[in-house]
Structure formats: structure tokens, C-alpha cells
């Protein structure tokens, strides 16, 4: 089941705990959910608009602004978290347990639109194994696998 109406920033802020300056997804463009109890096979495509006004560009680097790799990874991890969440799920805390096979293929610079695709490959109790890749203008930027541990908050309402 493909969801044609994307998640806007308000939806993302309801579903993820991150806030400015670490809310690194601007919009979820596509959601694919095969349905069923398991979230395996669930996919999202998320967008991060990279602008020169980002505070990290002042020091990384003054004469050649490049988005720090750790922030690219964080944006991708947030997209992976969105792949693990369904509207109506209890609020969840997602903690990165392991990131493996990280590869950077090109820098991300002001003006780029970082498109991240995340897919839940396996779900085992409180662990999710996702494959994540980011592109700019169709060119591969970064890719990795991420294992996340999830705990559900019982008294915080629902995520969406």
C-alpha cells in the first residue's frame, strides 16, 4: 500500500523526538507499507533541503561548505526511524544499536536536496534492521545498514 500524501514537518515532529537544530528531515515524500503486523518491507523516501543557512556550514568549512558526514548519517537514521513508525503507533524511542558498511561517495553541499530511502528489512521484537541510502540528483551519496532498538512509551499518547 503506497501512501500518496507525504508526511509534512508537523507530522514528522509528532513522530520523532528530534527538534531544531537536529530535526534533519524536512518531508517524507513517499511511504510504502505492505501491511500486516510486521513492519518488514515498509519503506520511506525522505527529503532534506540543504541550505547555506545551516549553522554547521560556518565552520565546516568556511571556504568550502560541506555537510558533515555525521549529520548526513543522522538524517538517514531519522528516515530509518520513520520507516519503523506507523501512524497511530504508540510513541517510541529509537536508539541506534549499530551502523555498518557506511560508505560516502560524494559530498553534500548547499543547494543540494538529500533524498533518503529507508527500508525495514527485518523486525525482531524490539529491534529493527534497516537498509538506508541517500542520493543527490540521482547520484549516490551515502549508504549503510542500521540496527535500531525501539522502546514504546506507554503514557505519551500516539505518534501521529
- The one-character DSSP state at 154 is S
The model's confidence at residue 3, banded by pLDDT at 50, 70 and 90, is low
The model's confidence at residue 153, banded by pLDDT at 50, 70 and 90, is low
CA–CA separation, 137 vs 160, rounded Å? 31
Q: What pLDDT is attached to residue 62? A: 86
Q: Where are the domains of the chain?
A: 2-152
- Enter the pTM of the model: 0.90
- Is residue 71 within 8 Å of 56, Cβ to Cβ? yes
Q: What pLDDT is attached to residue 16? A: 87
Asked if the model's pLDDT at residue 158 lies above 60, the reply is no
Residues labelled as active-site residues: 60
How many helices (H) and strands (E) in the chain?
2, 7
Number of other residues whose CB lies within 10 A of the CB of residue 127: 13
Match domain 2-152 to its CATH number in 2.40.50.140, 3.10.20.740, 3.40.50.11400, 3.10.129.10: 3.10.129.10
Lowest mean pLDDT among 1-10, 16-25, 63-72, 102-111: 1-10
Q: Which residues of 38-77 are buried (b: 16+ CB within 10 A; e: fewer)?
A: ebebbbbbbbbebeeebeebeeeeeeebebeeebbbbbbb
- The one-character DSSP state at 137 is T
Q: What pLDDT is attached to residue 156? A: 47
Helix or strand (DSSP H, E) at 147: strand 139-152
Asked if the model's pLDDT at residue 118 lies above 50, the reply is yes
CA–CA separation, 110 vs 127, rounded Å? 35
Amino acid at each position: 500500500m503506497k501512501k500518496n500524501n507525504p508526511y509534512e514537518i508537523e507530522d514528522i515532529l509528532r513522530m520523532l523526538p528530534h527538534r531544531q537544530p537536529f530535526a534533519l528531515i524536512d518531508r517524507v515524500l513517499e511511504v510504502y507499507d505492505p501491511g500486516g503486523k510486521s513492519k518488514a518491507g515498509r519503506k520511506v523516501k525522505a527529503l532534506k533541503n540543504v541550505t547555506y543557512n545551516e549553522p554547521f556550514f560556518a565552520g565546516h568549512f568556511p571556504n568550502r561548505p560541506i555537510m558533515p558526514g555525521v549529520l548526513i548519517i543522522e538524517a538517514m537514521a531519522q528516515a530509518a526511524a520513520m520507516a519503523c513508525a506507523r501512524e497511530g503507533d504508540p510513541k517510541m524511542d529509537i536508539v541506534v544499536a549499530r551502523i555498518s558498511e557506511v560508505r560516502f561517495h560524494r559530498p553534500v553541499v548547499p543547494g543540494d536536496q538529500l533524498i533518503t530511502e529507508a527500508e525495514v528489512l527485518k523486525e525482531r521484537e524490539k529491534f529493527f534492521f534497516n537498509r538506508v541510502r541517500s542520493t543527490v540528483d540521482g547520484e549516490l551519496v551515502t549508504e549503510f545498514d542500521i540496527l535500531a532498538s525501539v522502546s514504546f512509551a506507554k503514557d505519551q499518547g500516539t505518534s501521529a
